[in-house]
Amino acid sequence: MMREMGCDGIQRFIDTYLDGEFAERDRAEFETHLQLCAKCQSKVKQQAMWKLAIKAAAPRELVPASLRNKVMRSIAKESAAVQTRRWVMRIMPAAAAAGLVVIMGVAPLMNRLSWSRAVSADVIAKHQRNLPLEISGGSEQVKQWYAGKVDFPVKPPSFDQVASKQMSGGAKLRGGRLTNVRDRQAAYLQYDMNGERVGVFMFDPSQLPLGAKSKRVVGNRDVYFDQENGSNVALFEDRGVGYAITSDLDQDQMVSLVSATVSH
């Protein structure tokens, strides 16, 4: 699945790795690189810490000093990639289950821009990987399939009226799958626009500071545009749901997709 395992490729797939979504072979390849590359290794650790901190975004209890110290000691001590992964797998579920707040000094890093860059990179990488859909069908079937699977209503936007350069038939919903955007659960919807794939990620946007260098107002919403790896992404919020729309279409067409999504 991964054609190249340079540092760029590694860093794009850190989330996939930490989420345990890799096939065995891809994972082995990833870890081989990590063992040889201190730079990527430290990025993976940093990202694992992020995930911990963000999981704990709603502060209720403080993490016990003992666990915090244990985590910090593990980070200081371990060097090999395989150990990093073991550490992540061991600590993360435990911390999540306990609903603990982990304070490790990473929160100040969470500025709006870097956070959204990471969201953009994450959704584009996931869209480009093009994993099989778990549900295929029209709007009503897809909506029903997501009910109870995610914590927000999934109402697939209709792109019937969105014209592309090649044709005027709009984009047709193909189906969807469960996924995540960074640390949070997300619904992924895939559309086909004359052979061009359009991906729509929906997620709970609370405490997610959306932002990007380029901002446009579409239908009274602030919409943030970003680009990565040849794809465009638009980030915005509508009726309490976060959206990331991504495709290889140009920015005008992206605006049309956003406009069709937001309530007017």
The 35-54 contact track toward Zn ion, x by CB under 5 A, reads --x--x--------------
Min separation Cβ 7 and Zn ion, Å: 3
Judged by CB under 5 A, the number of residues near Zn ion is: 3
Min separation Cβ 155 and Zn ion, Å: 41
Min separation Cβ 80 and Zn ion, Å: 15
Tokens 């960074």 locate to 182
CB of 6 or CB of 93, closer to Zn ion: 6
Other C-beta atoms within 10 Å of 150: how many? Answer: 17
The stretch near Zn ion (CB under 5 A) out of 5-13, 98-106, 196-204, 207-215 is 5-13
Site for Zn ion in 75-114 (CB under 5 A): none
Tokens 């619904």 locate to 187
- The answer to whether 7 contacts Zn ion (rule: CB under 5 A) is yes
Min separation Cβ 31 and Zn ion, Å: 12
Q: Which chain residues interact with Zn ion by CB under 5 A?
A: 7, 37, 40
